[in-house]
């Protein structure tokens, strides 16, 4: 995994680079927007960590340039200005995630991993959750060596929950993802499937009901 960091504050840049390297990432770091654009054009990165207040080229301009060029690289913005500050009000357009200073390094790592996971699941078949491995290609779920037997529908629902781990998934949203147009599926049946999943996977998953909203699979 190769990450580009654009941050002009030496202390923060040093800390982030050190921490990411500890976690096995390859990382290039620049303190100027122009240099950043040059690096992005000459090398391939899996993720961009971007400070908005850069000398040379403003962070927002960099996002716009990338997005205008159809570049879909995940972008994690770090900034000392929050969403209430007018200048970064238009941020929601292009960045994938946003972290306001001051932050914990562990938080940076978590966000980076989440963003990468999101973009990588497109390319990889395996989803790992606690001691479970889900193969999206073969449609199988394993706990270590042991194969867990789930019905087709149960697998689809669990896959959807896995892809949205730590996020609330609504019943409607589940129905939308596991049924096709001509499928006659009763939303209340979701409850049945969820309780079956809880029974079959009880020791490995934390699957809670959020009243009024849906379900949350916590890691």
Partner 1 sequence: MENKTKSIRSRLLLWLTLPLIIFTIAMFVYKYFETNKKVNAFFDNTLYATGKSIENSIGIEYGLLIVDLPYFAIDLLSSDGDGYVFYSVIDENRDKLLVGYKGLVNKELLGNKEKVFYDTVYAGAQLRAVSFKTSLASAGKTYNAIITIAESTENRSFVINDILSSIFILMTAVVGFTIITSLIAVSKGLSPLNYLQNLIKKRDSRDLKPVSFDAPKEVEVMVNSINLLLQRSRDNIEYIEQFNSDVSHQLRTPIAELKMKLELAFAKDDKDYIALTALVNSMAHITEQLLLYAKTNPNTLNLNRFKKVNLSQLCKEYALKTAPRVYEKGFEFAYESLDEEIFINADFIMIESMLDNIINNSIYYAVDKENNPMGTITVSLQRHNNTIWINVSDEGNGLEKKDLENIFNRFYRVDSLKNGSGLGLSIVKQIAQLHNASVQASNDKGLVISIIFPL
Q: In the complex, which residues of this chain contact partner 1 (CB under 8 A)?
A: 9, 11-12, 14-15, 18, 53, 80-87, 89, 100-105, 166-168, 170, 208, 210-214, 216, 218
CB of 24 to partner 1, least distance (A): 18
CB-based contact 207:215 (threshold 8 Å)? yes
* Residue 89 Cα distances to 93, 131, 179, 210, angstroms: 9, 41, 37, 31
CB of 151 to partner 1, least distance (A): 27
CB of 144 to partner 1, least distance (A): 27
> 189-201 and 152-163 are packed helices; what angle lies between their axes, rounded to 10 degrees?
80
CB of 84 to partner 1, least distance (A): 5
d(CA 72, CA 5): 16
CB of 123 to partner 1, least distance (A): 25
Residue 47 or 217: the one with the smaller Cβ distance to partner 1 is 217
Residue 34 or 82: the one with the smaller Cβ distance to partner 1 is 82
Residue 166 or 195: the one with the smaller Cβ distance to partner 1 is 166
Q: Which residues contact 18 (CB under 8 A, 6 or more apart)?
A: none
Residue 72 or 166: the one with the smaller Cβ distance to partner 1 is 166
Residue 74 or 214: the one with the smaller Cβ distance to partner 1 is 214
CB of 63 to partner 1, least distance (A): 18
The candidate with the shortest Cα–Cα distance to 148, out of 219, 197, 218, is 197
Neighbours of 174 (CB within 10 A): 22
CB of 1 to partner 1, least distance (A): 22
Residue 189 or 210: the one with the smaller Cβ distance to partner 1 is 210
State residue 2 phi and psi, 5-degree precision. -115, 125
* Residue 74 Cα distances to 47, 80, 104, 195, 199, angstroms: 5, 20, 20, 35, 37
Residue 3 or 66: the one with the smaller Cβ distance to partner 1 is 3
Neighbours of 187 (CB within 10 A): 12
d(CA 127, CA 141): 9
């Amino acid at each position: 995994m190769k990450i580009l960091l654009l941050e002009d504050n030496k202390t923060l840049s040093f800390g982030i680079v050190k921490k990411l390297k500890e976690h096995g990432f390859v990382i290039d770091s620049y303190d100027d927007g122009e240099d950043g654009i040059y690096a992005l054009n000459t090398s391939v990165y899996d993720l961009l960590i971007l400070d908005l207040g850069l000398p040379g080229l403003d962070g927002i301009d960099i996002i716009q340039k990338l997005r205008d060029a159809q570049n879909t690289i995940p972008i994690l913005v770090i900034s000392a200005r929050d969403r209430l500050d007018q200048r970064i009000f238009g941020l929601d357009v292009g960045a994938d995630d946003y972290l306001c200073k001051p932050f914990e390094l562990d938080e940076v790592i978590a966000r980076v991993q989440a963003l990468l996971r999101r973009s990588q699941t497109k390319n990889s078949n395996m989803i790992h959750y606690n001691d479970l491995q889900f193969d999206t290609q073969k449609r199988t779920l394993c706990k270590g060596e042991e194969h867990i037997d789930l019905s087709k529908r149960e697998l689809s629902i669990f896959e959807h929950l896995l892809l949205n781990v730590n996020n609330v998934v609504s019943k409607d949203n589940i129905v939308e993802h596991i049924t096709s147009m001509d499928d006659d599926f009763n939303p209340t049946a979701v409850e049945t499937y969820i309780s079956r999943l809880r029974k079959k996977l009880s020791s490995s998953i934390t699957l809670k009901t959020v009243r009024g909203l849906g379900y949350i699979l916590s890691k």
